[in-house]
């Protein structure tokens, strides 16, 4: 870490920061280093000062992340409250920072008579995470709107890239190694903002009726297999309400795992494994996780 000059950083750098404060499951061990940049230049300075083999975990709202109880060695870079600007461009395009919440983006679009961004209201994270996994909701997907992206590599070098430089799939994005999204230019269409706002309210009401919103979870744990739904397969396997420790499969939506209050990451991971094994055995389908699992197993 000798090359990292903490005195030049303008953002906030914490040490041994409990990740339970930063994940929607409210669990997770400490991060060795936890950095929130002041802006893109500050982020470039931090990255360029790290060792080449430093483990880096990117954090948005922590809504799609399971951090193991042993915590994270290396750096967590948090974009919550950073790189959140939205700049209007010509021809119904927006330049949006990776730290902008998807909910904020959806509201901005509706208030400015832009259509095509309504589905972002259903993504409980930041744009950076949505770009990294091609997040979607209500039938829409992030990369359907992408015209170009700006990335930053470990040397602090900025790159402008186009969608054809990435392999885009269902909840999957593969691109140049060790480059991280810092912003994107998104394309929308002109339309009735009030109509868009009404649709957003309708979509959110529908989500609240079918999902256990307001409880500590990560959202959908598993990807939907082609032509089917993970929740249907889990429910058909008799797993609704099944618990390991403080982690339980939601009775309201089987693709959600709830922290009942005292769950450890090990409980959640064990429950994920049990669901996969049971669904494979009973339904013949190998469920793939949508949630990202990071960190070290605790030494009990």
Q: What are the catalytic residues?
A: 171, 220, 290
CA atoms within 13 A on the CB side of 73: 7
Sign of CA dihedral 105, 111, 116, 122: positive
Of 53, 22, 52, whose CA–CA distance to 36 is shortest?
22
10 Å Cβ neighbour count for 202? 12
Q: Which two tokens stand for residue 54?
A: 């430093």
Question: How far is Cα 83 from Cα 47, in angstroms, rounded to an integer?
Answer: 15
Q: Does residue 21 contact residue 7 with C-beta atoms inside 8 Å? A: no
- 158-161, strands of its sheet edge to edge: 86-89, 93-97, 179-187, 146-153, 158-161
- Locate 29 and state its tokens: 């061990």
**Cα 141-147-153 angle, rounded to 5 deg:** 95
């Amino acid at each position: 870490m000798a090359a990292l000059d903490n005195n030049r950083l303008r953002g906030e750098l914490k040490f041994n920061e409990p990740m339970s404060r930063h994940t929607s499951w409210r669990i997770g061990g400490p991060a060795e280093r936890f950095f929130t940049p002041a802006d893109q230049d500050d982020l470039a300075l931090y990255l360029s000062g790290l060792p080449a083999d430093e483990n880096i975990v990117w954090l948005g709202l922590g809504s799609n992340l399971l951090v193991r109880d042993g915590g994270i060695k290396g750096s967590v870079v948090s974009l919550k409250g950073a790189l959140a600007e939205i700049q209007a461009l010509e021809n119904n395009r927006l330049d949006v920072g990776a730290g902008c919440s998807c909910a904020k983006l959806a509201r901005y679009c509706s208030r400015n008579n832009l259509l095509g961004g309504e589905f972002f209201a259903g993504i409980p994270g930041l744009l950076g995470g949505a770009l990294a996994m091609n997040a979607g909701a209500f039938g829409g997907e992030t990369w359907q709107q992408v015209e170009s992206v700006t990335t930053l590599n470990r040397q602090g070098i900025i790159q402008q890239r186009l969608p054809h430089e990435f392999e885009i799939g269902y909840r999957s994005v593969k691109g140049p190694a060790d480059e991280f999204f810092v912003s994107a230019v998104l394309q929308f269409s002109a339309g009735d903002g009030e109509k868009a706002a009404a649709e957003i309210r309708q979509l959110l009401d529908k989500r609240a009726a079918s999902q256990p919103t307001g409880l500590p979870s990560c959202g959908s744990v598993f990807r939907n297999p082609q032509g089917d739904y993970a929740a249907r397969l889990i429910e058909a396997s008799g797993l609704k309400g099944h618990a390991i420790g403080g982690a339980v499969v939601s009775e309201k939506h089987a693709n959600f795992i709830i922290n009942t209050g005292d769950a450890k990451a090990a409980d959640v991971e064990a429950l994920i494994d049990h669901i996969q094994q049971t669904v494979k055995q009973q339904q013949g389908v190998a469920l793939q996780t949508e949630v990202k699992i990071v960190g070290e197993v605790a030494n009990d």
